[in-house]
Amino acid sequence: MSGKSLMNGGGESYCGILPTKQPNKSERSPAEVVEGRPQTKENTRQPNLGRTPSRESRPSGLERVREAARKNGKLKFTALLHHVSIDLLRRSYYSLKKQAAPGVDGMTWEEYGQDLEARLADLHGRIHRGAYRAQPSRRVWIPKADGRQRPLGVAALEDKIVQYAVGTVLNQIWEEDFLGFSYGFRPRRSQHDALDALWVGVVRKRVNWILDLDIRSFFDKLQHSWLVQFVEHRIGDRRLVRLIQKWLKAGVMEQGQWNETTEGSPQGAVISPVLANLYLHHVLDLWVKAWRKKRARGDVIIVRYADDGAPRAQRAEEGPMCVTA
């Protein structure tokens, strides 16, 4: 274990302990470096939803987007929809869960694949000429450990395909912005990485305060107006912004009744984790980064997995130092 400070792209110390195995610099930006300990053999990596390997010596279109985002953190991308190609839609289809429950369209993965190329060509055409329409999510309820029920939104199959493809494009940009202590629903990161970081804070640091935090009904209460503003910080392609707005406003179907959605993003939707991370990046992560740089008098480490977090402080007088959103 190295004693050097783990730094992010802005030179801020995340943690006084480095994993012995550092990430491949060609695959991760400084903003993505983890807070944690060495990986254990059971640690598994999530497939990189946002990375498209190039089959040629020159970088692919998505790789060029990511490189541009890496070089200029304030660059606003105005032409992105053309990256949602038939090839990307096809890869998105094959990335979906084959046995997932159908949405309001009743279409299963197997049925859609029976005439896949024709369906994808038609879907691609509707996306690019503005004729694509998002369908409402089918609401189902699943029991929670405390006896309450959690609402899930099951999207139509075509909506899942388009959301996965758009998420792939957007992740090229946002993965260059997200900070190192964010672990949930991100390419090449898992719950094991978050636990590694938590292990460092508890075992290797002098910790006086630990806060275990969760935001109640975060996905259900997410504010659409603020989310769209956060999207527009980096995304200037109005066609992509309108796609996101269509998914947010599509509503839900429950017992044959359509209900309008004025807030929130359905849990279970493919795009929801990506949008949730963007929202929390702006309302929590950037605030924590500034707080511990300007206000904290001791070491402060935070581990965030989606809307769950565990901030830790070294000095007792710091008190509660951050809130996970």
- Convert the pLDDT of each residue in 165-212 to its tens digit: 999 999 999 999 999 999 988 988 888 898 888 888 788 877 788 888
pTM: 0.77
Q: What long-range pairs does 194-198 form, CB within 8 A, spacing at least 24?
A: 194/303, 194/304, 194/305, 196/19, 196/34, 196/36, 196/37, 196/38, 196/39, 196/40, 196/43, 197/15, 197/34, 197/35, 197/36, 197/37, 197/301, 197/303, 198/303, 198/310
pLDDT higher than 50, residue 158: yes
Q: What pLDDT score was predicted for residue 298?
A: 75
pLDDT higher than 80, residue 2: no
- Encoding tokens for residue 107? 């279409």
